[in-house]
Amino acid sequence: MTRDFFAEMFDHYAPYSIGFDRVFNRLNNYTTESSYPPYNIIKNGDFDFTIELAIAGFCKKDIDIELSDGVLTIKSIKENNDDENNLYRGISYRKFTRRFTLSDDIVVNSAKLENGLLKIHLERIVPEEKKPKKISIEG
């Protein structure tokens, strides 16, 4: 997908949406992102989600997770070292950055690294003012 695709998509939906320009701008940033590391997004129920990243060989100190302005960013800070005893390197610890745009009602509850799988648990919090309500008709 190209940036033009997102621009056309925004132009098409702009008359029907208010306040979503920030979301479309964020989507533009994802068109050039690498496919490493592979990940899953799992819906565990109406309000619970899990993001899983396959990061075998990394440990907690090698990963940085940050939530800022609705964008969840997972970065590696581990790199291959030049070990002369390593005759062949088939497993590479390359740096990566993976970003996920979260809606305003999603909160990050926890992150856990186990058996090479980083699991980030998310929850949708729906405030009272956003729940459906009946509007009475006067007159």
* pLDDT above 60 for 6: no
**5-14, 47-56, 112-121: range with lowest mean pLDDT:** 5-14
pLDDT digits (tens, 9 = 90+) for 60-99: 999 999 999 889 999 998 776 777 777 787 766 778 999 9
Residue 137 lies in a domain: no
- What's the token pair of residue 68? 């800022």
Same domain, 126 and 58: yes
Cis peptide before 38 (omega within 30 of 0): no
pLDDT score recorded for residue 78: 73
CA angle 110, 111, 114 (to 5 degrees): 135
Same domain, 67 and 25: no
Contacts with 79 (C-beta within 8 Å, 6 or more apart), sequence order: 93, 94, 95
Same domain, 13 and 45: no
Whole-structure pTM value: 0.68
In the numeric block, the tokens 């390197």 are attached to 89
Residue 138 lies in a domain: no
Cα Rg, the chain, nearest whole Å: 20
pLDDT digits (tens, 9 = 90+) for 124-139: 998 888 778 889 999 8
